[in-house]
């Protein structure tokens, strides 16, 4: 089963990290990434640019409204996400706990996902489970 692990944190805190602090967090996360890759569980993972680089298309009017920035003012922002191929929610939670131990603060939201528009370069887990 595929799960998205969405990474939330106050981006002002992350932006204030020194290069050394950021590199240290990324190295700790790299240890988790390498293990998940060896196990064949890690799919795409992305680190998003700051919300100052975001553009939102808000539906409801004609034409839809296009605005700079994120859709909502929140304390923590979506900074990135992982897609993992696991047996169940318990295994996804174990991975999120490992990621949380490597990256202090923030929150991880877990959601089951379905392949809507699969990447043809990636193996289809539905065929492998078969």
DSSP 42-87: EEEEEEPPPGGG-EEEE-SSSSPEEEES-SS--SSEEEEEEEEE-S
pTM for the complete prediction? 0.78
Instruction: Determine the CATH number of domain 2-47+81-129.
Output: 3.30.70.1060
pLDDT 10s per residue in the chain (130 long)? 999 999 999 988 999 999 999 999 999 999 999 999 999 999 989 998 888 888 877 777 778 777 776 555 567 788 899 999 999 999 999 999 999 999 878 888 999 987 666 667 666 655 654 4
Q: How far is CA 70 from CA 21, 59, 78, 119, in A?
A: 26, 14, 10, 26
pLDDT for the residue 125:
56
Neighbours of 32 (CB within 10 A): 19
Handedness of CA 73, 76, 82, 87 (dihedral sign): negative
pLDDT value of position 130: 45
Backbone phi, then psi, for 65, in 5-degree steps? -85, 130
């Amino acid at each position: 089963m595929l799960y998205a692990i969405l990474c939330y944190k106050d981006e002002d805190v992350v932006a204030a990290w020194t290069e050394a602090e950021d590199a240290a967090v990324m190295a700790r996360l790299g240890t988790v990434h390498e293990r998940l890759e060896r196990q064949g569980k890690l799919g795409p993972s992305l680190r998003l640019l700051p919300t100052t680089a975001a553009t939102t298309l808000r539906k409801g009017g004609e034409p839809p409204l296009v605005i700079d920035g994120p859709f909502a003012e929140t304390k923590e922002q979506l900074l990135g996400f992982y897609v993992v191929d696991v047996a169940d929610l318990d295994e996804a939670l174990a991975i999120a706990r490992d990621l949380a131990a490597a990256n202090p603060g923030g929150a991880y939201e877990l959601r089951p996902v379905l392949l809507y528009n699969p990447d043809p370069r990636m193996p289809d887990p539905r065929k492998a489970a078969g």
